[in-house]
């Protein structure tokens, strides 16, 4: 089976190329346009590779399930939806014709027979080419013919939409899709000639790429349709995908530091690499969609809608120190809301991902309280230094231990461990970091499918680095190793967990080298010492903050076929504290404090507004309606921003453009981190911790004295 490499990575998604056909309604036969792309056939090595992958997944995946007719039907649906996720190309008669393969894929996979997979792929590909040809021909005739006076709408998310019943219905759908693109760009102040050029280039580029499709594309898409029926993190990585994946894991990629995936024709942002260029710039957000990419500060923006994921990655990647510009839209794909940002490419250094400390002071009736903050961007360890036998290698636990000693010297009364947007990392570091805050006991349980009894990781040294008041701050992007640590602190009642519900990734992946590419396979699950899984549900905080990311939009629970939450037998452990008696008072004090706090009012309003926008299922194609909606959104957002500015003693702005200009000027004038405004979530976490100190009578001094 070769060497295996354990992973603690966030969610990744493979490339979903979209392809298509033309159907003769009378005969139910597929009729090919002369311009369709050449039919693809599997490479000689593909059957052998597929057999290896099927064997690995069936025998080594955490989930055991039969490869039967039921599985075949699920694979068929996954494959078809991966090819046409927006249900925009295929017709219902196409599905009827292809349905002969629905219950044949299980036997085909068992025997390395890829003919059904490639037959489906080639059929889809022909449909796409014909649709793109028609779109290009229509756009070449001009776009002045489109009217935006009718009361029409377009469904935004068509993942579960019915397939078009016939060609006429599909033509009507595509007329609305093209109108939506034109209207969005019109409202973004582009003239008709520019819009026509953009759309023609977009569809011509897609047509060119479809005709350049390779056998590996079809093979990877099909095999991943099979793999994804087990869970969303099990993936076949082709040789090229493997190279990109290995670069991202080693952090050696000179780019922007973002994990991307293909989603309904768009390249979407899954997460940002902590301390990477995009994370530092602060303008790129998870779920943003990349519309175009430009080189340098003035380079022409190249439209990348419909591009292959690896081609978009190649365009974004570049030499260290150079600028890449991205045109972005939100996850609705509405180009009316597009914005352009610039990011300087760089490599992610271990030093930049290292834990850091800060101290701030809060006033209390009983005296000032000093709060120490440990910012931990990731759970890291310098494996190269370990292999070289260096005694003083860098790691999360070593760095945090040193920083805690420094904070003790500075006389802090409480400690906040900031794990916001920490996507995980080393399992060993997560459990050893927990050991800095408990004397002895289990830290995490890991269970494999073939070993019903979980392996219990323990801290046995009998020592702690910090016994005083503790809070752990998390958000929706805190995942994997972060959830192990936060879950242990909560189970031991060692401290308070504060923030928003975490990501919910409680699975372990292994990399298996193949004769062609690699297989990333889920082989185990994490469990808390209480026996609860961190999978799907994540960590629910003791005290909650407004959700700005969107729990219904980001997280394990939003991924198809994510493994379920479950429980196992608890490990034997003794709680070190008991914060439960104080939670009601702490929550009441928190709610009273933030009720009039301008920063929390801002976050609550923004969270509610984004939730309402995500709930919208259709977009209007009426220009007057859209103008009114945009003006209303702008007025609302300007009012929200000005309310915060006025509350902070700053002058209001007259437009959102003026606000952006002021923010850019303030950023350019900032000379150090001390010039930054205090983080309102950190400050409120400090207040909660101060309340806990006052209510419980526990301080860093009493905790140390009791030991």
Residues 260 and 187 in one domain: no
Q: Is 494 within the bounds of a domain?
A: yes
Phi-psi region of 438 (alpha: psi -120 to 50; beta: other; left: phi over 0): beta
How many CA within 13 A on the CB side of residue 303?
19
Q: Is 246 within the bounds of a domain?
A: no
Dihedral sign, Cα of residue 686, residue 690, residue 695, residue 698: positive
> The domain that contains 305 carries what CATH number?
2.30.42.10
Q: Among residues 501, 428, 466, which one has the least CA distance to residue 577?
A: 466
Q: Is 533 within the bounds of a domain?
A: yes
Residues 437 and 509 in one domain: yes
The DSSP code sequence of 403-423 is HHHHHHHTT-SEEEEE-TT--
Rounded alpha-carbon distances, angstroms, from residue 238 to 50, 211, 230, 656: 12, 20, 19, 45
Active-site pick, 181, 480, 482, 533: 480
CA distance 172 to 621: 13
Backbone angles phi, psi at 411, to 5 degrees: 75, 40
Rounded alpha-carbon distances, angstroms, from residue 167 to 127, 154, 178, 283: 11, 18, 16, 42
Among residues 344, 379, 401, the one where a domain terminates is 344
Residues of the domain holding 323: 252-344
Residues 556 and 464 in one domain: yes
Q: C-alpha angle 114/115/116, rounded to 5°? A: 95
Residues 171 and 289 in one domain: no
Q: Is 660 within the bounds of a domain?
A: yes
Q: Is 602 within the bounds of a domain?
A: no
Q: Is 610 within the bounds of a domain?
A: no
For residue 478, what are its two tokens?
């805190």
In the 3-class helix/strand/coil scheme, how is 188-229 assigned residue by residue?
CCCCHHHHHHHHHHHHHHHHHHHHCCCHHHHHHHHHHHHHCC
The total number of residues shown for the chain amounts to 707
CA distance 662 to 669: 11
CA distance 314 to 247: 12
Residues 414 and 519 in one domain: yes
Report whether 7 contacts 249 (CB < 8 A).
yes
Residues 407 and 550 in one domain: yes
Q: Which pTM was predicted? A: 0.84
For residue 235, what are its two tokens?
């993936």
Residues 484 and 623 in one domain: no
How many Å separate Cα 266 from the centre of its chain?
A: 14
Active-site pick, 186, 505, 520, 525: 505
SS3 for 387? helix
**Active-site residue, 648 included:** no
Among residues 312, 344, 376, the one where a domain terminates is 344
Residue-wise pLDDT for 656-686, tens only, equals: 889 888 887 887 776 665 656 789 999 999 9
- Give the pLDDT confidence score for residue 384 in this predicted structure: 72
CA distance 562 to 536: 7
- Give the pLDDT confidence score for residue 218 in this predicted structure: 95
Q: Among residues 649, 558, 562, 554, which one has the least CA distance to residue 607?
A: 554
H-state helical runs in 61-166: 69-83, 92-98, 105-110, 115-140
CA distance 631 to 612: 17
Active-site pick, 418, 491, 532, 679: 491
CA distance 50 to 238: 12
Cα Rg of the chain, angstroms: 27
- Give the pLDDT confidence score for residue 581 in this predicted structure: 95
Residue-wise pLDDT for 431-472, tens only, equals: 999 999 999 999 999 999 878 799 999 999 999 999 999 999
Residues 141 and 258 in one domain: no
Report whether 187 contacts 626 (CB < 8 A).
yes
Q: CB neighbours of 441 closer than 8 A, spacing ≥ 6?
A: 458, 459, 492, 529, 571, 573, 574
Q: CB neighbours of 321 closer than 8 A, spacing ≥ 6?
A: 344, 345, 346
- How many separate domains does the chain show? 4
> Which residue ranges in the chain fall short of pLDDT 50?
1-35, 248-253, 702, 704-707
Q: Among residues 29, 61, 57, 41, which one has the least CA distance to residue 113?
A: 41
Residues 108 and 85 in one domain: yes
**Active-site residue, 505 included:** yes
Report whether 298 contacts 321 (CB < 8 A).
no
Residues 437 and 313 in one domain: no
- Give the pLDDT confidence score for residue 141 in this predicted structure: 93
Phi-psi region of 580 (alpha: psi -120 to 50; beta: other; left: phi over 0): alpha
- Give the pLDDT confidence score for residue 311 in this predicted structure: 83
Q: Is 608 within the bounds of a domain?
A: no
Residues 150 and 275 in one domain: no
> The domain that contains 553 carries what CATH number?
3.90.226.10
Among residues 323, 344, 365, the one where a domain terminates is 344
Residues 364 and 441 in one domain: yes
**Active-site residue, 677 included:** no
Q: Is 611 within the bounds of a domain?
A: no
Report whether 607 contacts 546 (CB < 8 A).
yes
Q: Among residues 6, 156, 22, which one has the least CA distance to residue 89?
A: 22
């Amino acid at each position: 089976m070769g060497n295996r490499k354990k992973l603690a990575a966030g969610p990744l998604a493979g490339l979903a190329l979209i392809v298509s056909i033309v159907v003769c309604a009378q005969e139910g036969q597929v009729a090919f346009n002369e311009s369709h792309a050449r039919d693809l056939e599997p490479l000689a090595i593909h059957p052998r590779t597929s057999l290896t992958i099927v064997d690995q997944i069936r025998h080594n995946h955490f989930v055991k399930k039969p490869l039967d007719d039921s599985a075949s039907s699920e694979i068929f649906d996954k494959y078809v939806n991966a090819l046409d996720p927006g249900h925009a190309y295929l017709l219902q008669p196409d599905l009827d014709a292809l349905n002969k393969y629905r219950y044949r894929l299980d036997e085909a996979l068992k025997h390395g027979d890829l003919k059904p997979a490639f037959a489906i792929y080639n059929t889809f590909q022909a449909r796409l080419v014909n649709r793109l040809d028609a779109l290009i021909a229509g756009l070449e005739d001009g776009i002045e013919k489109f009217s935006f006076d009718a009361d029409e709408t377009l469904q935004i998310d068509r993942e579960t939409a019915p397939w078009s019943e016939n060609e006429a219905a599909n033509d009507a759908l595509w007329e609305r899709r093209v109108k939506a693109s034109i209207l969005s760009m019109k409202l973004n102040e582009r003239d008709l000639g520019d819009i026509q050029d953009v759309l023609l280039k977009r569809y011509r580029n897609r047509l060119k790429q479809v005709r350049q499709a390779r056998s590996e594309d079809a093979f990877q898409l099909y095999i991943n349709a099979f793999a994804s029926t087990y869970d969303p993190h099990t993936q076949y990585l082709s040789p090229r995908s493997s190279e990109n994946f290995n670069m991202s894991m080693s952090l050696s990629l000179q780019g922007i530091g973002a994990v991307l995936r293909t989603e309904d024709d768009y390249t979407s942002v899954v997460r940002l690499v902590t301390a990477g260029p995009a994370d530092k710039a602060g303008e790129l957000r998870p779920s943003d969609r990349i519309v175009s990419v430009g080189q340098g500060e003035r380079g022409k923006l190249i439209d990348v809608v419909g591009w292959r994921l690896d081609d978009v990655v190649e365009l974004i990647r570049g030499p260290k120190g150079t600028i890449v510009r991205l045109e972005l839209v939100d996850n609705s794909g509405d180009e009316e809301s597009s914005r352009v940002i610039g990011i300087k490419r760089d490599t992610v250094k271990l030093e930049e991902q290292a834990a850091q400390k800060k101290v701030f002071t809060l006033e209390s009736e009983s005296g000032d309280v000093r709060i120490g903050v440990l910012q931990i961007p990731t759970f890291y360890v310098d494996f190269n230094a370990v292999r070289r036998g260096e005694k003083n290698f860098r790691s999360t636990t070593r760095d945090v231990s040193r920083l805690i000693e420094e904070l003790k010297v500075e006389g802090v009364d409480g400690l906040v461990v900031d794990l916001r947007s920490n996507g995980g990392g080393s399992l060993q570091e997560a459990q050893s970091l927990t050991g800095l805050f408990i004397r002895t006991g289990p830290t995490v349980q890991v269970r494999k499918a073939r070993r019903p009894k979980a392996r219990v990781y323990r801290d046995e040294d009998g020592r702690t680095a910090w016994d005083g008041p503790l809070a752990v701050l998390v958000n929706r992007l805190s995942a994997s190793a972060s959830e192990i640590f936060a879950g242990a602190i909560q189970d031991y009642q060692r401290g308070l967990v504060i923030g928003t519900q975490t990501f919910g990734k409680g699975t372990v992946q292994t990399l298996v080298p193949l004769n062609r590419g690699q297989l990333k396979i889920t082989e185990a699950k994490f469990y808390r010492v209480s026996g609860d899984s961190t999978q799907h549900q994540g960590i629910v905080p003791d005290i909650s903050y407004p959700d700005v990311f969107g729990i219904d939009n980001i997280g394990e629970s939003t991924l198809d076929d994510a493994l379920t939450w479950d429980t196992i037998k608890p490990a034997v452990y003794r709680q070190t504290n008991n914060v439960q008696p104080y939670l009601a008072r702490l929550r009441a004090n928190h709610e009273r404090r933030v009720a009039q706090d301008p920063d929390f009012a801002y976050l609550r309003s923004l969270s509610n507004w984004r939730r309402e926008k995500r709930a919208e299922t259709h977009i209007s194609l009426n220009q007057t309606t859209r103008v009114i909606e945009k003006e209303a959104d702008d007025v609302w957002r300007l009012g929200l921003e000005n309310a915060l500015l006025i509350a902070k003693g700053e002058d209001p702005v007259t437009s959102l453009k003026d606000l952006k200009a002021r923010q850019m000027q303030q950023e350019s004038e900032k000379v150090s981190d001390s010039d930054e405004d205090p983080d309102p979530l950190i400050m409120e976490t400090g207040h909660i911790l101060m309340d806990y100190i006052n209510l419980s009578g526990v301080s860093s001094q009493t905790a140390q004295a009791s030991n």
